[in-house]
Structure 1
């Protein structure tokens, strides 16, 4: 859906799947097309369901109203917020989750896309790479 929809489609989909709690909400980076529904999702799960366990954020700020609404929702509902960088891990039962980027000190003058959270997940024999919106500088860093 469009980021201006404020999470309605995401909330409807998660409810249809029977999701009542979000244990780990990863914010790849602060651009509105990646966080547009975060405030609504946090608000919904904190007030109408079993909450949000933690939010993982690369720590790069944005001056947008969308970013402010997201941080306000985190603060209002006292959701744990982790500044997440390369070398960190996210604890999930049965899944290894390693954070590969962004590095401490950031890349490319703190460009939001280049400093997306990049996750490597290992679940049994399957592995997944979730690269956010990393571009050439992020790709070079990862290799």
Structure 2
């Protein structure tokens, strides 16, 4: 049975509904290139490798033209290992933007004691995320969110599912043909769970906080990034926005939906790519702080354009490649930042 048909059948069993959009290489980005999503080996590429298609039919692999600014004082490390981090503050909300290299992983401990995990980096980051969670005394996970099928977001989730009891899994209704995505689906099925659809307007039941998905607002065909589950999270008067890899199309749809969007802390979309965090979106969110989850990469993340946009907006910015795991503590009124490095 072809791989694409197998993926559709598996997802239809696990998701609440069977209508899914299949991933495909997709459109080019603002730099004229894109990442490979399907049949990569046939093109001589790795899954997720950034590249350009030349007019003569050949392929060039190189980073975008908007390079990342050189790190100041600290150098970003490409060694993948867990940072030493402190346990959550009792009676307060603790949000950990975990250092997992080039990828996304965020752990939230609510004041009421619930555990939430949003993504878990690449496949090789699975053990690292498990190590973080064990450092933090996690015994089970109430909510797991897979923002979208890209391997640098869901790669480690199967390892987490095999290491902790997970009570609920949320993901947007979009599929992919990679082994990484298939491993995630199989791990969910093995735990006897059914994936709940993450979509705009859906509230996530968590005691003591208000958590609601703002995206995806629509369906986005083969553009996996715009399918990203975007979560708005409020504790007391403090607000957080977790964006996955949502790009400008999704950002514009979220703005147009007129839902409450402002946040004190913004997890920058797509690792600081120029395709995300538009000027309009940044203005609508109006954050005081921003976190870029990023590691050593060939994509030019984070783009100088985005770094400068944040500086112009006077947003205090942290980067996991420079600052290590970034921890945000909220008592419901004030926000305090802690960083490893």
Partner of 2:240: 128
Asked if structure 1 preserves the Cα contact closer than 8 Å seen for 2:123 and 2:180, the reply is no
Q: Structure 1 length as normaliser, TM-score?
A: 0.91
Q: Distance in 2 between matches of 1:31 and 1:126?
A: 29
Residues 29-44 of structure 1: matches in 2 within 5 Å? 29-44=148-163
Q: Are the equivalent residues in 2 in contact too, given 1:115–1:138 (CA < 8 A)? A: yes
Greater radius of gyration (CA): 2
Query: 2: CA distance between counterparts of 1:38 and 1:126?
Result: 28
Q: Which runs of 4+ in 1 moved over 2 A?
A: none
Q: CA RMSD in A?
A: 1.2
Residue by residue, what CA displacement relative to the aligned partner does 1:113-135 show, whole Å, maximum 9, x if unpaired? 01100011110010111111111
Number of the residue aligned with 1:55: 169
Distance 2:149 2:231 in 1: 16
| Equivalent residue for 1:141, pick from 253, 259, 264 | 253
Q: For residue 111 of structure 1, what is the aligned residue in structure 2?
A: 223
What SS does the corresponding residue of 1:8 show, helix, strand or coil? helix
Distance 1:18 1:79 in 2: 23
Q: How many equivalent pairs are there?
A: 136
The alignment partner of 1:114 has SS state of helix
Give the SS at the match of 2:201. coil
Contact kept, 8 Å, 1:30 with 1:112, in 2: the verdict is yes
- Higher relative strand content: 1
TM-score (structure 2 length as normaliser): 0.39
Flag the 1:5–1:74 CA change in 2: closer, same or farther, 3 A.
Answer: same
Residue in structure 2 matching 1:81, options 171, 190, 195: 195
Structure 1 unaligned regions, length at least 5: 46-50
- For 1:6 and 1:80, the matched residues in 2 are separated by 24
Indicate conservation of the 8 Å contact 1:42/1:52, yes or no.
yes
| Distance (whole Å) between structure 2 residues aligned to residue 16 and residue 126 of structure 1 | 26
For 2:125 and 2:240, how far apart are their aligned partners in 1?
27
Identify which range, 125-134 or 76-85, moves more after superposition: 76-85
Q: Over residues 65-117 of structure 1, what are the superposed CA-to-partner deviations in whole Å (9 max), with x where a residue is unaligned?
A: 000000000001112310111111100000100111112x413x241101100
Note if contact 2:172-2:198 (Cα within 8 Å) is conserved in structure 1: yes
Tell me which residue corresponds to 1:17: 136
Which residue number corresponds to residue 126 of structure 2? 7
